Amino acid sequence: MRRKTFPHGIHPPEYKSLTEAKALEAMPPPEKVSIPLLQHFGSPAKPLVKKGEEVSLGQKIGESTALFSASVHASVSGKVLSVDGVHHPLGKPIPAVTIANDGEDRPAPEIQGSADPLSLDPETICQIVKEAGIVGLGGAAFPTAVKLSPPKDKPIDTVIINGCECEPVLTADHRVMLEYTEDILRGAELVRKAAGAERTIIGIEDNKKDAVRAFLEVMDNGSAEIVLLKTKYPQGAEKNLINAILGREVPRGGLPFDVGVVVQNVGTAKAIWDAVKFGKPLYERALTAAGEGVREPKNLMVRIGTPFQDVLDFCGGIEDNTNVLIMGGPMMGLSQWSPDVPVIKGTSGILAWTVPVPPMEHSCIRCSRCVDHCPMRLVPTQLMKYVKYEFLSDAENWGILDCVECGSCQYICPAAIPLVHWIRLGKNQVMGLKRKKSANNAE
């Protein structure tokens, strides 16, 4: 099978050997969960419960109130302790529902599945997905119901199921592909039907040939296609994936809709099948707990709202000299200042590291490595300078909003310049100015 790929990118060490052969373990629910009302792209959910109320497993406790939002559900049954702000992995206090687990996992009575999911019409599939609070589980946490409802003037011809998991260290998606192969295929068929597409392609990097074999063993003729992709970072970024598989380029400022494509993560496809077939909302997810600071690296199925500390304790704790805790992968993950933050829908990994003092930053030597390796074909050092000296309009004109924050530029920079940090700051400032301008125009 010929390997496909995209231009540029990098080849960081994979570090997947610690967990890639370890099956998913179901972690016991903790004594208490704190479920943020914002763990997705867009607006926070509106709380539906109050302190002192009893809730059931899978009960909706937060209602989406905007197009770009997602409902949230109880991941245990028990009593609501508070509806208040908690420390969030994204770095700021967010309103959350804290529930004391009664240990009964009493299911919500409204959880009902479908006897024949593949017979449902697209509108019904989308509505079930929306009610289940499903978001992209690759890390971006974009509301899935929005992806399944493309604009009428942007017909979809292809669905791509993303099985790359190109981030180093992380292997939970790999295990999901091996252990829930048929569920992913069925979920992919629901995605294809909902989006009105004709074709389904599953893209898998060539360091996961066992996953390719697993799909080929259970696939019906014509149900989907497998495309083998070169192991390279960031192969799993959806614009790069579309370019690698189909040769189509998403326009600047555009979305996969614009080139007739919908991309879903393998874990999201499984979650869609679980929601439509069994009525199961998104209240747990697969993640990898690893890194040289974790004593017993594992792949786990974890309830949303579980404290990071509980996950690390379940893995034997961390080494005494651990000094970095990351949510996600080492390239795009976010450093955490405390393990007392909850697992959210976008938590693909919890990594603990013993990292030496970072190298001293030097002036740019204009070597162009960041340009040569940027998968979005940007000029990272120039964007950094525009942000640093507050030329934000120039930064926008040079495409700062097209940056996917993959970290390739910072990884390859010999001057140790924190390019991603500057670009992330600049993106936030540019978006803030655009929101302010829109608000002023609305007045």
Its sign, for the CA torsion 18, 19, 20, 23, is positive
Q: Are residues 264 and 124 in the same domain?
A: yes
pLDDT tens by residue, 148-171: 998 889 999 999 999 999 999 999
Q: Are residues 267 and 386 in the same domain?
A: no
State the pLDDT at residue 1. Answer: 67
Instruction: Flag whether pLDDT at 42 surpasses 90.
Output: no
Q: Are residues 146 and 274 in the same domain?
A: yes
What's the CA gap between 54 and 42, in Å, rounded?
Answer: 28
Question: Domain end: 248, 278, 308, which one?
Answer: 278
CB atoms within 10 A of CB 218: 11
**Backbone dihedral angles phi then psi of residue 377, each to the nearest 5 degrees:** 60, 40
Domain that holds residue 429: 369-442
Q: Are residues 373 and 271 in the same domain?
A: no
Q: Are residues 381 and 274 in the same domain?
A: no
Question: Domain end: 228, 254, 278, which one?
Answer: 278
Residue 288 located in a structural domain:
no
CB atoms within 10 A of CB 326: 21
Q: How many domains does the chain have?
A: 2
Mention every residue, 6+ apart, whose C-beta is less than 8 A from residue 222. none
CB 251 within 8 A of CB 129: no
Mention every residue, 6+ apart, whose C-beta is less than 8 A from residue 306. 27, 29, 30, 33, 75, 342, 343
Residue 93 located in a structural domain:
no
Give the residue among 159, 168, 172 at the shortest CA–CA distance from 238.
Answer: 159
- Mean pLDDT across 366-380: 96
Instruction: Flag whether pLDDT at 316 surpasses 90.
Output: yes
Residue 406 located in a structural domain:
yes
Residue 140 located in a structural domain:
yes
Question: Domain end: 256, 278, 300, which one?
Answer: 278
Residue 317 located in a structural domain:
no
- Mean pLDDT across 222-243: 93
Give Cα separations from 414 to 10, 267, 365, 419 (angstroms).
Answer: 14, 36, 8, 12
- 270/438: higher pLDDT: 270
What's the CA gap between 191 and 126, in Å, rounded?
Answer: 9
Q: Are residues 266 and 415 in the same domain?
A: no
Q: Are residues 252 and 386 in the same domain?
A: no
Q: Are residues 266 and 387 in the same domain?
A: no
Q: Are residues 255 and 389 in the same domain?
A: no
Percent of the chain at pLDDT > 90 equals 86
- 276/2: higher pLDDT: 276
Q: What is the pTM of this model?
A: 0.94
Confidence bin at 352 (pLDDT 50/70/90): very high
Residue 208 located in a structural domain:
yes
Q: Are residues 122 and 268 in the same domain?
A: yes
**Biggest CA pair distance of the chain:** 63
Which structure tokens are listed for 17?
């050997």
Residue 147 located in a structural domain:
yes
User: Residue 160 is which amino acid?
Assistant: I
- Mean pLDDT across 325-348: 94
- Mean pLDDT across 122-140: 93
- Mean pLDDT across 255-284: 96
Q: Tell me the CATH number at 187.
A: 3.40.50.11540
**Average model confidence (pLDDT) for the chain?**
94
State the pLDDT at residue 139. Answer: 76
Confidence bin at 443 (pLDDT 50/70/90): low
State the pLDDT at residue 437. Answer: 85
In this predicted structure, which of 36-45, 175-184, 434-443 has the lowest mean pLDDT? 434-443
Residue 5 located in a structural domain:
no
Q: Are residues 238 and 131 in the same domain?
A: yes
Return the DSSP state at 135.
B
Q: Are residues 273 and 387 in the same domain?
A: no
Confidence bin at 103 (pLDDT 50/70/90): very high
State the pLDDT at residue 85. Answer: 87
pLDDT tens by residue, 44-60: 999 999 999 999 999 99
What's the CA gap between 201 and 208, in Å, rounded?
Answer: 16
